[in-house]
A = this chain, B = another copy of it.
Amino acid sequence: MTNSSEISFRQFQQLIRDMYLEKDMARGVDGTFMWLMEEIGELASCLRNGTHEERLGEFADVIAWLTTIANVAGVDLTEAVMKKYGSGCPGCSQFICTCDNAEKP
C-alpha cells in the first residue's frame, strides 16, 4: 500500500482507520484507552528487558493504539504534529531546542 521505506502520518492513520475503525467505534475512547495503557506497559517492560525486534513491535503497537484513539476522537495526527512541532520547539520556537533543561521539553 505504500513504499516500505517511508510512510506518512496521514497514510498510517488511514491504514489503521480502514483496518479497525468499526471495532474502535464500538469500543469507544475509554475502552480503547485501556488497550493503549496495556501496550504502554509492554513497551516499558520491553525497554528494560526486550530485544530490538520486540521493541520495534511494541513501539508499533503503542502508535497503532494511539492512532486508533485519534480516529475515534476525530483528531488528525498530521494536523496535530505539524501545528505543535512543525514550526520548531513549542517552548523556544527553535529547530534545535534551546529551552532551559529544567523546562518541559
Specify which of A9, A19, A73, A95 lies most central, judged by the most chain B CB atoms within 10 Å of its CB: A19
Report which of B12, B35, B66, B88 forms a contact with A59, defined as CB distance below 8 A.
Answer: B66
- Interface size on A, as a range, is 35 or more
Considering only residues 66-84 of chain A, those with a C-beta below 8 Å from chain B are: 66, 69-70, 73-84
Q: Are A81 and B64 in contact (CB under 8 A)?
A: yes
Q: What residues of chain A have their CB less than 8 Å away from a CB belonging to chain B?
A: 1-2, 4-10, 12, 15-16, 18-20, 23, 26, 29, 33, 35-37, 40, 44, 47, 52, 55-57, 59-64, 66, 69-70, 73-86, 88-89, 94-97, 101, 104-105
Minimum distance in angstroms from A37 CB to a CB of chain B: 8
